[in-house]
Every structure is written in C-alpha cells, then in structure tokens.
C-alpha cells in the first residue's frame, strides 16, 4: 500500500463545516479501508472550533475538542490529493494541479446545524464512493 493521500477541507473559519467534513470523512475512509486522511484549514480562521460542532461530534463519539482552527498554507494545497471548499474564496491562491470541488450548497452551521450536517454527509457519501471506485489502495485490516 502506498502512503495515505490527503483530502483538504476548507471553510472560511475552519471552525464548523470543515471540521464536520474532516471528522466524518476520516470515519468513512476508515470504515471503507481507504488510504486517505482528512486535513482542514480556513482562509480566515477563528480562535476555536464551534462549540455546537464539538458537542454534536462528541455525542457521536468523535472528539474534536483539541482542534485548533488554522490558516490555509501553500503547503496544504501542494500536499492535497483533492481540495473541498465549503464556501471559501480561493481566487487568490494557487492550487496548482490539484482538483478543487465546491460544496457551496452546505448551509452555515450557525443557521442550521442539522441541515449543514446532512448536506456534508450527502457529499461525503458520494466522495467516498468515488474514491473507492477509482481503485485507490485499500488499507488492509482496518
């Protein structure tokens, strides 16, 4: 098996939507045995993750309390297999040859956490199915 590939999830504040997406993606990738991991960043990061997101994920057995929102770097883009933007303006950044998908239909967590979660999960199901169908290396025994 080759090295893990990174899917980079971006939202402006790296405090809510990208945190949800990264946490759920890692869970799905493990369940499916995909050699991928999530990373997340923001273009204007907050000081801390959304308490509502931390509580929701904690209730689902996923601990993101230690997450610290961070600023997107050129290195993040260079090391990503794919970038998922959840409402970020990436016009000023050079993503090189990396594929960027826009999930701009995901509503703000502050307006409707349940709808945001549901939209992210729908997108992730399709993404994970696509990655699995592409014949990517599977992690044995996970």
Percent of the chain that is helix, strand, coil (3-state, to 5): 35, 20, 45
Q: Around Cβ 23, how many Cβ atoms within 10 Å?
A: 22
Give domain status of residue 138, yes or no.
no
44-71 confidence digits (pLDDT tens): 999 999 999 999 999 999 999 999 999 9
Give domain status of residue 100, yes or no.
yes
Domain containing 120 — which CATH number?
3.40.50.2300
Segment 81-91 mean pLDDT:
88
Give domain status of residue 59, yes or no.
yes
Those residues whose C-beta lies under 8 Å from the C-beta of residue 97, and which sit 6 or more positions away, are none
- Which structural domain range is residue 89 located in? 5-133
Segment 92-118 mean pLDDT:
88
Give domain status of residue 82, yes or no.
yes
Instruction: Give the bridge partners for 106, in sequence order.
Output: none
The yes-or-no verdict on residue 92 having pLDDT over 90 is: no
Q: What is the pLDDT of residue 88?
A: 87
* Cα separation, 48 vs 69, whole angstroms: 6
Give domain status of residue 88, yes or no.
yes
In this prediction the pTM is 0.90
Pick 57 or 78 by higher pLDDT.
57
- Domain count of the fold of the chain: 1
Give domain status of residue 117, yes or no.
yes
């Amino acid at each position: 098996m080759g090295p893990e590939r990174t899917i980079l999830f971006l939202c402006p504040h790296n405090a809510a939507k990208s945190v949800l997406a990264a946490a759920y993606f890692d869970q799905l990738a493990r369940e499916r045995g995909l050699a991928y991991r999530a990373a997340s960043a923001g273009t204007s990061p907050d000081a801390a993750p959304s308490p509502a997101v931390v509580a929701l994920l904690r209730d689902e057995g996923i601990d993101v309390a230690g997450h610290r929102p961070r600023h997107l770097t050129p290195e993040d883009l260079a090391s990503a297999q794919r970038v998922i933007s959840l409402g970020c303006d990436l016009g000023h950044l050079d993503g090189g040859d990396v594929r960027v998908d826009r999930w701009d239909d995901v509503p703000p967590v502050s307006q409707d956490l349940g709808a945001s979660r549901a939209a992210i999960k729908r997108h992730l199901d399709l993404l994970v199915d696509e990655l699995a169908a592409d014949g990517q290396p599977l992690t044995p025994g996970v």
